[in-house]
Structure 1
């Protein structure tokens, strides 16, 4: 493939990032007891049919009683009709209007964070890509910024422990991974419960208070549901934006002609982000379980089987994307599914796009030259479910 991205140490399961195509759009993986789905039309079919392909897969990997506590209110694990009810309640507070009003704040934060950089070499993930979305989310929820490092520790603990899921019994590495993730989620959950309890006593002008007050058809969110949504927003919300920013800089470094082109024509910045979401999809994969026997791309998949649905591979499907290994910020059409599709389309997508657009424009303004440091390689996330960096050392000389 073009550029150096394929040479970096990205997870080996992301073989399409190295220019290798899946041999078929659907295949069974005996090593993990699950089905991989790689093709774009097949992924869309699955995302568009929650009745056949359920999102409630947690109980396949953790005990049902644990899943009931940990995922109540987590939109990613909910199926209709519960999903619609939760989405309506959360949507009453997490609105496009609210997101749009954050633009000037995001710009000010970006400048503030970049003002703290000294020297011509720094870690873009540590200096900007991580703290920017975390501060925005903390402010939205009304969490003290002084707690930012503790929040990072919990989310990092979960990410570092994340490994390839498997339905096969006796996978001790997976069991240890899930235990570590559960411990981090529990500690974060206790912290968020204290915040929710405080808002019930003393409401404020923040998202937690609005979630408590939200009502649809006489129903309100429980404390557990609010906590689990807050957990999802902190964990998944900031990770997506962090990886989007980092991945976009990686792509611009790999394709300097694109970097020059976008700097000259800032109207391409939104398209740049969409192409980044396609080319290096932050959420590489999601999971579904079949509720009946079904045929996908001519392959029969029995009821009760777990599917690993690869958004990142679908975004490289040559049946849909012409020259899929070419990075083009003006690609049109670009029906990338980096934020998912259907009822589970990412609720935070508008915020991630806004943060990405504002931050990239400011990076272009402040740094006429921004390159990955050739003497200090990026460090990538180890989980196959994500495509992104832990560290992104850059040079601005």
Structure 2
């Protein structure tokens, strides 16, 4: 069993943290009505073949399971789009996340980290997610996008409703069951779409030097993006732009608490912090799974997956495949090579990965400067996100030392 599991109250649905799997790398779930891929080489193949494993998963969800009038448009939702449209949309914002643009954000990230830690001194106790891991990345991405970072309480409310659910993953829910499962998410979706739609309309009237204006003015094949595509694009940037870093920073600090020897090494040699972050991404993969839909019959892992099947790609399990990672349940920042899939692979490799890595490195350095030891508070429980496809902490109280 993983030492992380022994030390903390890890949810059972995070099976990848509970020790090695004994089953095959690819298997069908009768209960969920979908295929699960757990193996590293198998998943490496899937993510590198978008023509066979499509990101447009909604096309294989039975229409009878979709609540009438409740299914939002996914136009512009880049995570659900295949080539060639995917490449065209990705280019619209790729320039906002170039190496130079991201590097130039380092002083601002350091400034915000300091301000947030200073503000936390005024509160009783220090809780990493509330005081730093959530507000830091959401302020950064809000400033890039051009929406008020002071609205971050709203963003958190919407993100919690959209992502932090305990539901199992299945394509066999009835329409009534699915509606009950998704009602809070749909409400949050509509509210967030309305909010971003208003800001997009403001940019049409009064352009600014921000990412939202760039989306409003962008053209694909000589035509402006429709309003719903602009909103959906902005939504994924705002959500993914902060949730990944929130989970990454929380998980990295948790790993350093669980492995104090590694914390001492990182404190003594700050040049090892990028390796600490990469190993955290492997061991506690933020977005643990993603969906794909087969476009043809395909052989994978010794079995044949028919066409038009939903496939769940368990990145978190693949990142612990002993065929690729020796002693996979240990936290080893010296692991070399470390070709984890924490940010995905292929055409859908996380666009904001450089920013998340920078935010994690800057924040972790400052935390090590300000805390003699990063230690969880034994009198306050660590709380994990319970969503089946996400790995991270919802609450991480630390001792003030």
TM-score, scaled to structure 1: 0.95
| Match status 1:98 vs 2:85 | no
| Match status 1:271 vs 2:259 | no
Q: Please give the alpha-carbon distance, in whole angstroms, between the structure 1 residues aligned to 2:172 and 2:93.
A: 35
Corresponding residue for residue 21 of structure 1:
21
Q: 1:278, 1:315 within 8 Å by CA — same for their partners in 2? A: yes
Deviates more, 1:188-197 or 1:80-89: 80-89
- Where structure 2 has 5 or more consecutive residues not aligned to the other structure, the ranges are none
Q: 1:163, 1:174 within 8 Å by CA — same for their partners in 2? A: no
Per-residue CA shift, 1:78-133, capped at 9, x if unaligned?
A: 01111111112222444333222111000000000000122783110000000001
SS of alignment partner, residue 132 of structure 2: helix
Q: 1:90, 1:214 within 8 Å by CA — same for their partners in 2? A: no
Deviates more, 1:83-92 or 1:304-313: 83-92
Q: 1:89, 1:214 within 8 Å by CA — same for their partners in 2? A: yes
**What's the offset of the Cα at 1:169?**
3.6
Q: Please give the alpha-carbon distance, in whole angstroms, between the structure 2 residues aligned to 1:232 and 1:162.
A: 21
Corresponding residue for residue 215 of structure 2:
211
Per-residue CA shift, 1:271-304, capped at 9, x if unaligned?
A: 1100000000001000111111111111111111
SS of alignment partner, residue 184 of structure 1: helix
Corresponding residue for residue 185 of structure 2:
181
Q: 2:19, 2:329 within 8 Å by CA — same for their partners in 1? A: yes
Per-residue CA shift, 1:194-217, capped at 9, x if unaligned?
A: 000001110111111122233455
Corresponding residue for residue 108 of structure 1:
111
* Closer, same or farther: CA 4–84 of 1 in aligned 2, 3 Å: closer
Corresponding residue for residue 362 of structure 1:
366
Matching of residues 251-330 of structure 1 within 5 Å: 251-330=255-334
SS of alignment partner, residue 197 of structure 2: helix
* Closer, same or farther: CA 117–355 of 1 in aligned 2, 3 Å: same
**What's the offset of the Cα at 1:71?**
1.2
Paired residue for 1:117, among 98, 120, 123?
120
**What's the offset of the Cα at 1:220?**
3.5
Deviates more, 1:193-202 or 1:177-186: 177-186
SS of alignment partner, residue 164 of structure 2: helix
Paired residue for 2:226, among 204, 222, 228?
222
Q: Please give the alpha-carbon distance, in whole angstroms, between the structure 2 residues aligned to 1:241 and 1:66.
A: 33
Corresponding residue for residue 244 of structure 1:
248
Corresponding residue for residue 83 of structure 1:
86
Q: 1:164, 1:174 within 8 Å by CA — same for their partners in 2? A: no
Q: Please give the alpha-carbon distance, in whole angstroms, between the structure 1 residues aligned to 2:168 and 2:146.
A: 34
Q: Please give the alpha-carbon distance, in whole angstroms, between the structure 1 residues aligned to 2:22 and 2:124.
A: 41
Q: Please give the alpha-carbon distance, in whole angstroms, between the structure 1 residues aligned to 2:124 and 2:258.
A: 20
Deviates more, 1:200-209 or 1:176-185: 176-185
Q: 2:13, 2:386 within 8 Å by CA — same for their partners in 1? A: no
Aligned residues: 397
**What's the offset of the Cα at 1:377?**
1.3
CA RMSD of aligned residues (A): 2.0
Q: Please give the alpha-carbon distance, in whole angstroms, between the structure 2 residues aligned to 1:178 and 1:301.
A: 28
Paired residue for 1:137, among 112, 135, 141?
141
| Match status 1:54 vs 2:57 | no
- Where structure 1 has 5 or more consecutive residues not aligned to the other structure, the ranges are none
SS of alignment partner, residue 303 of structure 1: coil
Deviates more, 1:308-317 or 1:56-65: 56-65
Per-residue CA shift, 1:302-340, capped at 9, x if unaligned?
A: 111111110000000111111111211121100011000
* Closer, same or farther: CA 65–84 of 1 in aligned 2, 3 Å: farther
Paired residue for 1:193, among 197, 216, 223?
197
Q: Please give the alpha-carbon distance, in whole angstroms, between the structure 1 residues aligned to 2:188 and 2:375.
A: 34
* Closer, same or farther: CA 162–94 of 1 in aligned 2, 3 Å: farther
